[in-house]
Structure 1
Amino acid sequence: MALWDKVKQGIDKAGKAAQDVFDEGKLRLDAYRAREQADKAAEALGYAVFRAAEAGGDLDADARARLMDALRTKDAEARRMETELANARAAAGMTDTPSPAAPTPAPEPPRDETAGPAAGG
């Protein structure tokens, strides 16, 4: 009977690990979608400001307030989801990869190698 108990424990442990991975994947997807919605809200605000400036004026206060509120709401939701994901990863002991909320370093701009060393001065 001890062998069957060990097999059952192994199966239970594998099932829990699979469920944890599934839950983390769902949380990652939810966090990604929330961040994507926040980005779209920021984009809408940016386009509205740009279009108003191109028309020679400022964005009217009501539209600005509505777009800013939408951005605040979406950004807060994205941050909440990213924090929840980071907490879940920390609880599972998976701290080897950065969380989506952590900023990634910006890539270096390409160098203009046609100018040669004298151009840089």
Structure 2
Amino acid sequence: MNPLVAQNGDVILCVNISKLYNSKERGSIYEVTRKYWHIADDNLSRITHVAGVFQGKVVVVYVKPSWYRTENPEWPNRWEFTHQNDEGDLHSPYLGKSIRMYGPTRYVE
């Protein structure tokens, strides 16, 4: 499997969605991917892409997400995003790429 390598100055936040990917708890891959992430405030403006990762492989990509602090009291000080396309970027060059070589690192630049 080819490794995930950022292109053209992209900053990709990789989020592990493996625990909820097949769950009906949140209803869709979009809902699983977009919520509740602990991100340093100064990193939010740098993120150009969010990659949902299932078992080490990128399965969904959202370009230029709009971030806001969650209002859910169960997840204080966490962030979630909105995106105009729930399906994500179906033509992203990052789809299907592996992040296994990065270990716990979540940002790929």
Shorter-normalised TM range: under 0.3
* Normalised TM-score (structure 2): 0.23
- Larger Rg belongs to: 1
* Normalised TM-score (structure 1): 0.22
Structure number with the bigger relative contact order (C-alpha 8 A, sep ≥ 6) is: 2
Normalized per residue, the structure richer in helix is 1
Normalized per residue, the structure richer in strand is 2
